[in-house]
Structure 1
Amino acid sequence: MNRHDGRITLFTRLITAPDTAPDTAGVPDAAQGARQSSGAGSFARVRGRAREAEAAGIDALLLHDRQSAPHDPADAPYFEAGTLTAALAVCTRTVGLVASVSTEHTLPYHAARVLATADHLSPGRAGWQPLTGADPDAAANYGRDERASASMRRSRASEFVTVLTGLWDSFDDDAFRRDRESGVYFTPEKLHALDHEGQYFDVAGPLNIARPPQGHPVLVHRPADADDLALAARIADVVLLPAQDGQDPALVRESVREGARAAGRDADDIAVLLDFPVDGGPGAADRLRALFEAGAADGFTLLAPAGPAGASHEAVLALAAEVRGGSGGPAVTEGATLRERLGLPRPAGRHRTA
C-alpha cells in the first residue's frame, strides 16, 4: 500500500479525559476520592476509544504526554505515553500508536528501549513524537535549569534522533537465526556497538533489544516554526502542519518535500498531514477529500472540537467513518505495519554484515 492509491491518511489525538466529572453529591469524602480517581484514570474507557477509532479507520493515534502538571486540568494526559502505548499495543489490531517523548527530559537509551518494545508488542505499529518545547515546570521536576534556547533544544532533539536510530540498528535484521538444526541461535558479528560521543549524549550501546519490526518506529514531528520545519524535513517520517489562513497548503507541503530532497532524502519518504478541525457540520468529508485531491496533504490530523470528551471523540469518529465510507481509500488489512499503512519505506540498518 502507498500514498498514491487514493487512501487518505487520518491521524487524531486519543482523548483520555473522562466524559464528565463524576457526581459526588452526598458521597463521603473517601468514596469521592476513589470515584474521582477511577473516573479520571479508567484504562477501560481509553481502550474502548482506541478500539472505536481503529474501527472508524483512523490510521494512528497521537498519545499526548507532558512532564509537568498542566495549568488546565483538561489538558492532563492521564497516562504516561510509553506505558499507554505498550498497553494499547496488545488490545488493538491495526491502528498506529504514536507516543510523545520529551527530548529534553528523557535519555535516548531509555526511549529507544521503550519504543522498540512497543514496536515488537504491536507488532510494527509504534511511532513517536519528539517534544522539544520549553517547560520550566518540567525542568524543575528534573532538577534542571531551563535556559536552553530554541536552537539548543532543536540541536539536542536532532542528536537524540541520531542516537535512537543508531541504537535501533544495534542488531542486523537477521542477527537472530534461531536455527535448531545447526544449533545457531545468534550471530555475534551482527551485533554492533554504537559508541556515540556527541554534544549532548555519550551512549556506548548496543541496545539490548532486537531490531524493531519497522526498523525504526515512525517519527512524527509537529514543527513550531520555520527552523523546526527544516529539522522535520531532515528527520521526520510524518510532518503535522496547521492549516493557516492565507497559505496554500499544497505549497507548504511541497516546501517540506523540497527540504527533504535538500537533505538527500526521497521526497516520497516523508508524509505531510494537515490539521483539519472537526466541527460536525455538513460537507466536512467532501472538503477533506477535495483538499487531498488538490495535493494539499498526504492526509489529515483530525482535531477534536471543544466540549465534553465523549462528544468530541464521537465527532472525530463520525467524520473518519464518513471519509472511509466514501472515497477515503481501501481498508487496511490486519498485520500491516504503520510504515506500510502510510506508504513509507522501512529503513535499512546502517551496518552491512555479510
Structure 2
Amino acid sequence: MSQSDGRLTLFTRLITAPGAVDGASPDSGAGSFARVCDRARQAEAAGIDALMLHDRQSAAHDPADGPYFEAGTLAAALAVCTRTVGLVASMSTEHTLPYHAARILATADHLSAGRAGWQPLTGADPDAAANYSRPDRVSAAARCSRAAEFVTVLTGLWDSFDDDAFRRDRESGVYFTPEKLHALDHQGDHFDVAGPLNIARPPQGHPVLVHRAREAEDLALAARIADVVLVPAQDDQSAARVRESVREQARAAGRDADDITVLLDVPVDGSPAAADRLLALFDASAADGFTLLAPAGPADGAHDAVITLAAEVRRKCGGQPSAPAEATLRERLGLPRPAGRYLTV
C-alpha cells in the first residue's frame, strides 16, 4: 500500500499457545482451538488486517515457542470462523514442494473468499533438514535461489486456469472452456513441475506473499517477489531509509514501488505513548504500517497487550479511510490483483 492510500496497516502473529487455564485436560485440543478462534475474532474486531500463522518443520527446543497447529490447516479452519482478517500461513520453501503448497494456499483463499496469504520460510534449520532427508548445510544464496523459483512455480500454478475458464452456463451447456486451462511445464534448477493445478484460480489471483527481510539478501529477494515486506524494529530515521531502500530495489526489478507494503516490527511494551509513536512514524512515511510483536509472558496476557494497542491505534487514526467491506486481503492492503500470465479469448 502506498502512503497516498492513507490507511495504516496492522499485522500481528496469532498466538496459538494454550492459555493458563488449559492445563492438560482431555479436551485441551478442541478447547485450545476454540480459544485461538476467539483470539482471531478479537484481533479482527480490534482492526488487525492480517494474522501471521507461525509454523516450523521441527520441534522447538522450548515447547512454548513451537506452533500449536500446522499453519495451512489452521488458515483453512480460521477461514470459517472469521470474516475480514487476512490469514498468512508460513510455508518452508526448503521442506515443502511447490505443488502441495499451491493447493493448500489456493484452497485457503477460496475458503476465506480471498483472505489468504503466505510467508516463505527460507532460513536454515538443521533439525528440520534431518526430518526431510535434506542437507543440513545449505548456503544462504542457494536457499534464496530455491525460494525465488518456488514463488515462480506457485504463481504459475495459480495461473493454470484463466479467471473465466469456468463458464457454468446452463443455457449453452458449456461448463468449462478447455482453451483456458494451461500446463506449466516448469523445468528449473530446483523443481520440475508439469502442472496444471487442479484447483481454480484463487479469488486474489495469487495469495498475498509476505516476506521477512533481516539481511541484505532477504531485502533484495523481498523487493523482487513480495507483496508485503516485514523489516526489523529501527529507530525512526533508519526505518524510513529501509522503506525507501525496498522501494528503490523494487523499481530496479521493474516493479511499481506502490505495489509493495513495508511493515515495521514493533515490540508491544505497554507504553502509554506507543499508539502516538506509531502514528507519527506512519505520518513521516517511515513505514506503511506495523507488525505488532507480542511481549514475552503468558499467552493470554501477551495477546491482550497486542489487542489493546491495535484498538488504540485504530481509535486514534479514526479519520483514516476504512477497509472496504468484505474486501479481499489484497483490497484491504491496497495491492493490485495480478493478472493471469496467459491471454486467451
* Fold shared by both chains (TM-score > 0.5): yes
Deviation (angstroms), 1:204: 0.1
Asked if 1:192 is matched to 2:155, the reply is no
- Give the alignment's TM-score, normalised by structure 1: 0.94
Asked if 1:240 is matched to 2:257, the reply is no
Per-residue CA shift, 1:241-260, capped at 9, x if unaligned? 01235852111101000000
> Is the 1:171–1:191 contact (alpha carbons within 8 Å) kept by the matching residues of 2?
yes
| Other-structure match for 2:263 | 273
| Other-structure match for 1:116 | 106
> Is the 1:215–1:348 contact (alpha carbons within 8 Å) kept by the matching residues of 2?
yes
Per-residue CA shift, 1:145-197, capped at 9, x if unaligned? 21211110000000000000000000001001111111111000000000000
Per-residue CA shift, 1:105-151, capped at 9, x if unaligned? 00000000000000000010000000001111111111222121111
**Counterpart mapping for 1:306-325 below 5 A:** 306-325=296-315
Asked if 1:297 is matched to 2:287, the reply is yes
Alpha-carbon distance in 2 for matches of 1:21, 1:136: 34
Per-residue CA shift, 1:24-59, capped at 9, x if unaligned? xxxxxxxx5x44x71697110100000000000000
Deviation (angstroms), 1:330: 3.2
Alpha-carbon distance in 2 for matches of 1:114, 1:288: 34
Alpha-carbon distance in 2 for matches of 1:266, 1:13: 28
> Is the 2:236–2:286 contact (alpha carbons within 8 Å) kept by the matching residues of 1?
no
Deviation (angstroms), 1:326: 1.6
Query: Partner letter of residue 19 of structure 1?
Result: G
Alpha-carbon distance in 2 for matches of 1:16, 1:22: 12
- Give the alignment's TM-score, normalised by structure 2: 0.96
> Is the 1:7–1:330 contact (alpha carbons within 8 Å) kept by the matching residues of 2?
yes
**Counterpart mapping for 1:93-108 below 5 A:** 93-108=83-98
Asked if 1:332 is matched to 2:323, the reply is yes
Alpha-carbon distance in 2 for matches of 1:41, 1:231: 39
Query: Partner letter of residue 186 of structure 2?
Result: H
> Is the 1:169–1:349 contact (alpha carbons within 8 Å) kept by the matching residues of 2?
yes
Per-residue CA shift, 1:51-79, capped at 9, x if unaligned? 00000000000000000000011111010
| Other-structure match for 2:338 | 347
Deviation (angstroms), 1:103: 0.2
Change (3 A) 1:96 1:201: same
**Structure 2: which 5+ residue stretches go unaligned?**
none
Alpha-carbon distance in 2 for matches of 1:228, 1:296: 19
Alpha-carbon distance in 2 for matches of 1:11, 1:178: 38
| Other-structure match for 2:15 | 15
Alpha-carbon distance in 2 for matches of 1:287, 1:244: 13
**Counterpart mapping for 1:1-354 below 5 A:** 3-20=3-20, 22=22, 34-35=25-26, 38=28, 42-245=32-235, 248-327=238-317, 329-354=320-345
Give percent identity, aligned residues only.
Answer: 80
> Is the 1:21–1:39 contact (alpha carbons within 8 Å) kept by the matching residues of 2?
no
Secondary structure, in 3 states, of the residue corresponding to 2:209? strand
RMSD: 1.6
Task: Indicate the larger mover: 328-337 or 84-93.
Answer: 328-337
Task: Indicate the larger mover: 53-62 or 333-342.
Answer: 333-342
Per-residue CA shift, 1:276-321, capped at 9, x if unaligned? 1111111111100000000000000001111111011011111111
Deviation (angstroms), 1:19: 1.8
Alpha-carbon distance in 2 for matches of 1:22, 1:65: 21
Number of residue equivalences: 344
Query: Partner letter of residue 85 of structure 1?
Result: A
**Structure 1: which 5+ residue stretches go unaligned?**
24-31
Task: Indicate the larger mover: 323-332 or 129-138.
Answer: 323-332
Query: Partner letter of residue 290 of structure 1?
Result: A
> Is the 2:274–2:309 contact (alpha carbons within 8 Å) kept by the matching residues of 1?
yes
Per-residue CA shift, 1:203-223, capped at 9, x if unaligned? 000000000000000000002
> Is the 1:57–1:331 contact (alpha carbons within 8 Å) kept by the matching residues of 2?
no
Per-residue CA shift, 1:311-337, capped at 9, x if unaligned? 110111111111111215233343100
Alpha-carbon distance in 1 for matches of 2:313, 2:248: 29
